[in-house]
Amino acid sequence: MASLPGIGPGRAALLARLGIVTVRDLLLHFPRAYRDCRELTPLASVEPGERVSVVAEITSSRQVRLRGRQSLALITLADGTGTLQASFFGRGFLARSAFVPGRHAFFTGRVGQYNGPCLSSPEYELLEEEDLQSLRQGRILPAYPLTEGITQRMLRKWVLAALDAVAPGLAEPLPGELAERMGFPPAAEALRGVHAPDSPEAAAAARRRLIFEELLVLQTDIQRQKRLLRQENRAHTHRVGGELLRRFQAEIPFALTAAQRRAVEDILGDMAGPTPMLRLLQGDVGSGKTLVALHAAVVAADGGLQTAFMAPTELLAAQHALVLEGLLAPLGLRTVLLTGAAEGRGEAHRAAASGDAQVVVGTHALFQDRAAFHQLGLVIIDEQHRFGVAQRELLVRKGPRPDVLQMSATPIPRSLALTVFGRMDLTVMDELPPGRTPVTTRYIPQGKTAACYDHVRKQAEEGVQAYVVCPLIEDSIAKQDTRALLTHFSELSAGPLAGLRTGLLHGRLPAPEKDAVMRAFKRGEIQVLFSTTVIEVGIDVPNATLMVIENASEFGLTQLHQLRGRVGRGTRPSFCFLLGKPRTPEGRERLETLCKCSSGFDIAEADLRMRGPGELLGVRQAGLSDLRAADLIRDARLLDAARREAERLTAPDCADAGNLADSLFRPQSDAPAPA
Ligand code: ADP
Ligand code: MG
């Protein structure tokens, strides 16, 4: 580092705060954004509503005090073609500290209105004479994360010097065949492309390669460890590709999606191998995970082994039991339901212990002491994020090293961490069955509530079924909340929804009653189902295509997405209406996100962004803070691809495994110091 121009002990200490100690660190300090100076807008042609980048001189700047303690920095810019204002809400101090008249600066942001066109809180960078020159050459400049005392200009200069010193001699760590197949640029080109790109596309391609390379390095290490650790074979063997599986596949009433086929392939591959499966199946709400999991259960049954299928709620367990029975009974397999409240619990226990039942569906009752299995070969855990690690472990101990398949609709950092640390394999299903139309989601302002219920009534009269969800938390509903739900239910049933067949479902109902209500809804006897969040997970009634969520902003984002996942299961267009005025800006943002995004992966990402890194802390502690380019949430799919490649590259018979030891991302190695 000391060999780079202008880095003495003082600046070295500042750089260390950014985690930059070696030349390698410097090269792995990636830009967080780019200043695209190829298309700067002259001030004269700035239009409200557009996103623009401008370079201009600051001609005046002042601090405006607003009501409360807020203040605003308001500055005027000029570039010879015209003038423009820029405002910095809540940051009035900038008027004096940063925006000195006479200085030039780069601004990028959206043009709003504030006494005429005005850039509102743009991102900015103060410029020196030499920056102006590179800007006028129309370059794309990297914008790095900074710390006090270190400027963009310094970092740009040092990074370029480091690139010149290191890039020419940089080894190519990826196998040539892989780089070609993935369409990746060579290592040196990628490094240059991310720091000094010729186009935004080149920057994106470069970054994609670097992310992949980092994940591949991580995954090959893990795979090697796993090969060492997993020398312990399972106690039983599965019969993959047997008669039952063949009959089951012939019986499935629709074609599997490509994602489902890949997932089944992964799972059957695991079960055919000698060591127990430990796999997490991640797929958005409605992607068809249950059917995939059933393949595993049928394979187990083919080999005379039992499956325990665990769901987080009684309602969901009951529904699964019904679905599974429908598909498995024709194969001569017996499914029983074992929950704390289910009728015939004694018989279910007996059938599980004697082996009469091949599949036992249930809630956490499955791992309680009393529950015993004859020969448990497979454990399936649905909505795994609802269970604690300890609960899951208990169930797994009910058999001699059973295979374990966990399913989740939410990409959760903790499970990803597990994936990354190699305890679990991951399959991501990023596809919904064909014919689904995305759920149209709308926020309904308070004045329109009546119109909304009017719409529900009309739709119901035309044969559509609807859910009305009220924000009470299952299991912890206080008596008064239940009363509130009951009151609301009777008011709506007697008022706007009068004449419709309505039903009521909440956690406090006795199980048989819950079951009866759910069956009636499934059969279409109930048109509008009022419910708490008991229906949050898994419930599948394709004819229900309308959902109203009361006080929607009281729910978390992922929970809202799960709830919404109850509709959009049939081929008819589905709608989700969000009621209630948000009480906080975060609440409003959640609703906006939900209206905008339909993919669970986007939602999970937004959720993490909004809730901050707190949620990610578990991952940080696990040591993943070392990741430079990759983000386990954002890059889940690349992670999956990297894992597949790593498996191939670490296999004993792999002909060309590349030279990953030379990768810049390998923590123990460092780039050669520049001469
Ligand atoms: P989730 O992944 O949320 O658990 P489910 O397993 O409940 O999703 O499946 C949702 C619905 O999609 C079910 O009604 C199921 O029968 C149906 N389904 C699953 N796979 C397919 C497919 N390949 N084609 C059509 N429908 C499917
Ligand atoms: Mg499900």
Using alpha carbons, select from 607, 585, 572 the residue that is nearest to residue 440. Answer: 572
- Distance from the alpha carbon of residue 523 to the mean position of ligand 1, in angstroms: 18
* Sequence ranges of the chain with CATH classification 2.40.50.140: 33-143
What is d(CA 378, CA 399) in angstroms, rounded to the nearest whole number? 8
Helices (H), 237-356: 243-251, 258-272, 289-302, 314-328, 345-354
Contact 452, 577 (CB under 8 A): yes
**pLDDT confidence tier of residue 423, bands split at 50, 70 and 90:** low
Ligand located closest to 569 CA: 1
Q: CA-based Rg of the chain, rounded to a whole angstrom?
A: 29
- Helix (H), strand (E) at residue 492: helix 479-494
Token pair recorded at residue 528 = 């509008």
Contact 526, 520 (CB under 8 A): yes
Least confident interval from 99-108, 249-258, 443-452, 558-567: 558-567
Instruction: Report the half-sphere exposure of 86 (CA within 13 A, side-chain side).
Output: 31
pLDDT tens digits, one per residue of 110-144: 999 888 889 998 988 888 887 787 777 778 889 99
- What architecture is the 33-143 domain classified under in CATH? Beta Barrel (2.40)
CATH fold of 243-429 = Rossmann fold (3.40.50)
Ligand 1 atom nearest residue 382's Cα: 4
Q: Is 256 in the pocket of ligand 1 (CB under 6 A)?
A: yes
- Mean pLDDT score of the chain, rounded to an integer? 85
Q: Is 288 in the pocket of ligand 1 (CB under 6 A)?
A: yes
537 vs 195, higher pLDDT: 195
575 vs 553, higher pLDDT: 575
pLDDT of residue 416: 57
Task: Report, as an integer, the average pLDDT of 277-286.
Answer: 86
Name every residue whose Cβ is closer than 8 Å to that of residue 237 and which is 6 or more positions away in sequence.
274, 303
**pLDDT confidence tier of residue 390, bands split at 50, 70 and 90:** low
**pLDDT confidence tier of residue 675, bands split at 50, 70 and 90:** very low
**pLDDT confidence tier of residue 669, bands split at 50, 70 and 90:** very low
- Distance from the alpha carbon of residue 324 to the mean position of ligand 1, in angstroms: 13
Token pair recorded at residue 88 = 């910095």
pLDDT of residue 655: 86
Least confident interval from 46-50, 135-139, 466-470, 615-619: 615-619
Q: Is 287 in the pocket of ligand 1 (CB under 6 A)?
A: yes
Task: Report, as an integer, the average pLDDT of 591-609.
Answer: 82
Ligand 1 atom nearest residue 289's Cα: 2
pLDDT tens digits, one per residue of 24-46: 989 999 998 888 888 889 999 99
Least confident interval from 13-27, 48-62, 153-167, 625-639: 625-639
- pLDDT beyond 70 at 607: yes
Contact 533, 547 (CB under 8 A): no
Ligand 1 pocket mutation pick from 287, 410, 427 by most atoms within 8 angstroms of CB: 287
407 vs 384, higher pLDDT: 407
Listed in order, strand segments (DSSP E) in 346-400 are: 359-362, 376-381
Contact 624, 404 (CB under 8 A): no
- pLDDT beyond 50 at 673: no
Task: Report, as an integer, the average pLDDT of 326-354.
Answer: 89
pLDDT of residue 671: 36
- pLDDT beyond 70 at 611: no
Q: Is 257 in the pocket of ligand 1 (CB under 6 A)?
A: yes
pLDDT of residue 616: 35
pLDDT of residue 476: 46
- Distance from the alpha carbon of residue 625 to the mean position of ligand 2, in angstroms: 32
Q: Name the amino acid, one letter, at 675.
A: A
Ligand 1 pocket mutation pick from 251, 280, 282, 290 by most atoms within 8 angstroms of CB: 290
Using alpha carbons, select from 471, 448, 454 the residue that is nearest to residue 528. Answer: 454
- DSSP-assigned states of every residue in 537-592: SS---TTEEEEEETTGGGS-HHHHHHHHTTSS-SSS--EEEE-S--SSHHHHHHHH
**pLDDT confidence tier of residue 613, bands split at 50, 70 and 90:** very low
CATH H superfamily, domain 439-597: P-loop containing nucleotide triphosphate hydrolases (3.40.50.300)
Q: What are φ and ψ of residue 544, in 5° steps?
A: -85, 110
- Distance from the alpha carbon of residue 485 to the mean position of ligand 2, in angstroms: 26
pLDDT of residue 465: 95
Using alpha carbons, select from 395, 233, 232, 227 the residue that is nearest to residue 306. Answer: 395
205 vs 666, higher pLDDT: 205
Helix 314-328 / helix 243-251 crossing angle, nearest 10 deg: 100
- Distance from the alpha carbon of residue 361 to the mean position of ligand 1, in angstroms: 18
Whose tokens are 């695991």? That residue is 270
Q: Is 653 exposed, middle or buried (0-12, 13-18, 19+ CB in 10 A)?
A: exposed
Task: Report, as an integer, the average pLDDT of 414-426.
Answer: 60
> pLDDT > 70: what percent of the chain?
88
* Sequence ranges of the chain with CATH classification 3.40.50.300: 243-429, 439-597
Ligand 1 atom nearest residue 542's Cα: 14
604 vs 490, higher pLDDT: 490
Q: Is 290 in the pocket of ligand 1 (CB under 6 A)?
A: yes
146 vs 548, higher pLDDT: 548
What is the sign of the dihedral through the CA atoms of 195, 197, 200 and 204?
negative
Q: Is 569 in the pocket of ligand 1 (CB under 6 A)?
A: yes
pLDDT of residue 16: 87
pLDDT tens digits, one per residue of 560-597: 888 898 898 877 889 999 998 888 788 888 899 999 98
Token pair recorded at residue 608 = 């993490």
- pLDDT beyond 80 at 541: yes
Nearest CA to ligand 1 atom 9: 288
**pLDDT confidence tier of residue 414, bands split at 50, 70 and 90:** very low
Task: Report, as an integer, the average pLDDT of 332-343.
Answer: 86
pLDDT of residue 422: 58
Q: Is 438 helix (H, G, I), strand (E, B) or coil?
A: coil
Task: Report, as an integer, the average pLDDT of 134-161.
Answer: 87
Q: Is 455 in the pocket of ligand 1 (CB under 6 A)?
A: no
501 vs 365, higher pLDDT: 501
